[in-house]
């Protein structure tokens, strides 16, 4: 690949790479919230409508739809018409019924690790240790 071809490829992929990295924290928070409200374990019983899931999780249907649809976009949930179900990865690792339960890891990341990382800029600027806000 010539230098000009490489530069054109970098210019095309650069912005998308940066956008994807920027979305990472939003993706993580949707995953953490779904775990915290018990969405994956609720769907371990089988497909359910948004209204059924709202009743099980105690979360308003309007806001639950935002989280559930984000997880559909990430292929962690599947949706057929108005029924949601765990995707393959969620069923295996987040439902509590698969060969591995990564729910505790997500809970740790959400409650302990993620808040500490929010202090990274301050730690870098001042060389002080990371501390939860």
Identify any residues that bridge with 78 across adjacent strands, giving them in sequence order: 85
* Angle between the N-to-C axes of helices 3-36 and 61-73, in degrees from 0 to 180, rounded to the nearest 10: 140
pLDDT, tens digit (0-9, with 9 covering 90-100), for 66-112: 999 999 999 999 999 999 999 999 999 999 999 999 999 999 999 99
Of the listed ranges 7-16, 27-36, 105-114, 117-126, the least confidently predicted one is 7-16
Q: What is the DSSP letter of 130?
A: P
- CATH number for 3-100: choose from 1.20.1250.20, 1.10.150.120, 3.40.50.720, 1.10.10.10: 1.10.10.10
pTM for the full model? 0.82
What is the domain partition of the chain in residue ranges? 3-100
Q: Under DSSP, is residue 78 helix (H, G, I), strand (E, B) or coil?
A: strand
């Amino acid at each position: 690949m010539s230098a000009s071809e490489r530069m054109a490829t970098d210019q095309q992929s650069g912005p998308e790479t940066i956008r994807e990295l920027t979305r990472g924290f939003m993706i993580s928070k949707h995953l953490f919230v779904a775990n915290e409200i018990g969405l994956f374990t609720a769907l371990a019983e089988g497909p359910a409508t948004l209204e059924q899931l709202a009743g099980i999780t105690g979360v308003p249907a309007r806001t639950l739809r935002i989280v559930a649809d984000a997880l559909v976009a990430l292929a962690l949930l599947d949706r057929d018409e108005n029924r949601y179900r765990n995707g393959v990865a969620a069923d295996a690792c987040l439902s509590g019924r698969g060969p591995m339960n990564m729910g505790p890891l997500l809970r740790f990341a959400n409650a302990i690790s993620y808040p500490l990382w929010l202090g990274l800029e301050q730690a870098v600027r001042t060389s002080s240790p990371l501390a939860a806000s």
